[in-house]
Amino acid sequence: MALKDEFERQGNWLFCNRSWLPLILLTLLVVFYAARIMFQDYIEIPEPDDSWELICLIISLTGLVVRIFTIGLAAKRTSGRDTEGQIADSLNTKGIYSIVRHPLYLGNFLMWLGLAMMTMDIEFVAIFILLYWLYYERIMFAEEQFLHRKFGKVYEEWAASTPAFIPAFRKFKKADTSFNWRKVLRNEKNGFCALMLLFAVLHVANSLTWHEMDIDEEWIFAAGASILVYIVLKVLKKSSLLSDPV
């Protein structure tokens, strides 16, 4: 099998199973913190501070904002959470897609980067970046092969002028679609809640590592508020109040 075909095959498999990546990263975080607490008397651990944790949170929330704008302005049956195969009824080339070809994966990267940085360990952050790149490189390759076959020259012209992962802000073109806030609330409630919960947990883990229980109440409040928001949106989704108008 040609290497590009193998890349595409692997990418399609990873695309259909990409919901497993958070579990892998969470497992790495648990193992990392367990080892750190067990061997903290033998290794030098930098003491976390509020300003660093705030920087990490801002980076992760920036990733969430990227996802929100991507999903909110994307055309129907594109940029979805499908896990059974590639779907694209049209090619997104405007809005955030005019400055980067894979904005959702950029958003995911920033969300997880902030969490990885909470460990205050440069080696752990480097491992995260390497794993993320190896994982999503093949997914992006498979997606682009699918889009190239389906949209041909239109895709080629867009891809030739739009970077894959690092945005070119000067190329921005306003989206033709209006912002779909219902779609955002339906799709991003899980990510927001999980993000705030994980930051609260890592804040507590950092405190435990230093034999301290100096836990900022703001993190616990934010985690509790995110759970409440999730529950409210879940109820609204079941009541069809978050459905798109026909």
**Taken in order 99, 17, 57, 75, is the CA torsion positive or negative?**
positive
Which pLDDT score is estimated for 82? 55
pLDDT at 123 over 80: yes
CB 156 within 8 A of CB 66: no
Q: In the chain, what are the domain boundaries?
A: 3-178
Q: How far apart are CA 33 and CA 206, in angstroms?
A: 8
pTM metric for this prediction: 0.86
- Residue 193 in 3-state DSSP? helix
Name every residue whose Cβ is closer than 8 Å to that of residue 138 and which is 6 or more positions away in sequence: 7, 10, 11, 14
One-letter amino acid of 208: L
Instruction: Please state, for a pLDDT cut of 70, what percent of the chain lies above it.
Output: 83
Assign a CATH topology to domain 3-178. Answer: Four Helix Bundle (Hemerythrin (Met), subunit A) (1.20.120)
Going by C-alpha positions, the residue among 63, 87, 58, 84 that lies closest to residue 74 is 87
- pLDDT digit string, tens, across residues 34-54: 777 677 666 666 666 778 999
- pLDDT digit string, tens, across residues 180-205: 898 899 889 999 999 999 999 888 88
Cα radius of gyration (the chain)? 20
Identify the band that residue 24 occupies on the pLDDT scale cut at 50, 70 and 90.
confident
